[in-house]
Amino acid sequence: MSNFAFGTYRISDQNPQHIAALKEAINSGISMIDTSSNYMNGGAERAIALAFREFDDDLIDNIEVVSKFGYIQNENMQRHLETPFDEVVEYSPTCFHSISQTFIQDQLTHTLSRLEMQTLDCYLIHNPEYYLLDAINKGVTKDDRLDEMYKRLFDAFMALELEVKNGRIKSYGISSNSFSKPRSSEEFLPYEDLLTLAEDAAQEVGNEVHSFTTIELPINILELDGLKCASWSHENGLRVLVNRPLNAQFEGLMYRLADYDESFEYYNHFNELMEVSDNQILRPLFNLLEQLDDNKHKFGWIGDYDTFLYGEIISHIKTALEVVEEENRAIMYNFIDMFLAEYRKMVAYECSKMTRVKLKENFAECTLSMQECALRFLMQRESIDFILVGMRKPSYVNEIMSLLD
């Protein structure tokens, strides 16, 4: 049976609830925490360090920390603009990527500092396929781009083997979305030669055996192509970490595989805020709230709402409140924060109802919650070692860990 690992995507060192969730997971016997240098601009790694300070070394030594590198965003992007990193793939204006040897050394130094560690248990190359995606866009032939991809991976493996030799990491691996693509996909990254690359890299730096141990990839009850890679990894002595167990891409759409309860506080906050903003000065806010209420059932999945919130809603709210005096503005923001928290619950509830209808055939035999059925499906796969689950509240930790009982 697969075990659960604490996934730290969207975990922040600035959120006390996230720190509390990490502590609860440690107390509950979690044995692995998965993170990355780009999660919350390093905030996830700092959060782990904050949580670890509360526990004895003997307990912490039994928890494996897995981190990743590759992304150049936020702070890394600013550093790159000042002093460029090597072999950078400029995938989009806000997302660059590198797996160069110098970048590995740099990122590991920062990761160890944020984690307050001398040695990292496992270090993963994070989505190296950004080179493939960029090469596809540039019209590079398949053979040429795969040759270059393997060259870059070999160079990275040598750097990682050297970090093993120097004692800064214990092992390494790859986290890739491309491992879950159909073999016919242009974005598929063939994995059968990775062990040979690792063996050659180890020999090149003078290590007797390679330390390539881990594959991480998306698999869920709707996305099953990754099970082929998982089986190959298992057969070849590699362990398999699965991400996105509850966020599924299916027939061109995203689904959150979870049931959510309706918010019974929503209309109290909505009506209160509507009453406060029902005047000429706050008419734009009134109209915005009215539109939000009318459209709470129209989001495809909760991720669409989160994107819309940060991309559109917040800026409109700030503009609407510019006419309010500063001391009253703080009070209004408090009202709005409470409303938005309940609004998100309502959107999640509406999305889960719609997901149940659209995926009724996939969950026809599911008499439990969608999330429990989806997780138990993965727990029963012998080729999967760890299932990474985001647990941003202590209650989420208890809910997930109870499945192991």
287-338 pLDDT tens trace: 999 999 999 999 989 999 999 999 999 999 999 999 998 888 999 999 999 9
Mean of per-residue pLDDT scores for the chain: 95
DSSP 214-239: EEEEE--SS--THHHHHHHHHHTT-E
Mean pLDDT for the stretch of residues 79-101: 94
pLDDT at 1: 56
pLDDT of residue 291: 96
Average pLDDT over residues 352-363: 93
Q: Convert the pLDDT of each residue in 45-58 to its tens digit.
A: 999 999 999 999 99
pLDDT one-digit tens code per residue, 161-197: 999 999 999 999 999 999 999 999 999 999 999 999 9
Averaged pLDDT, 125-151: 96
Where do the structural domains in the chain lie, given as residue ranges?
3-248+368-404, 266-358
Residue 403: how many CA atoms within 13 Å on its side-chain side? 24
Looking at the chain, the whole-number percentage of residues with pLDDT higher than 70 is 100
> CATH assignment of 3-248+368-404, given 1.10.287.130, 3.40.50.720, 3.40.50.150, 3.20.20.100?
3.20.20.100
What percent of the chain is modeled with pLDDT above 90? 94
DSSP state, residue 7 = E
Q: What residues contact residue 164 under an 8 Å CB cut-off, 6+ apart?
A: 170, 171, 172, 207, 211
Structure tokens given for 301: 């999945």
Q: Please classify residue 402 by burial: count the beta carbons closer than 10 Å to its beta carbon, then call 0-12 exposed, 13-18 middle and 19+ buried.
A: exposed
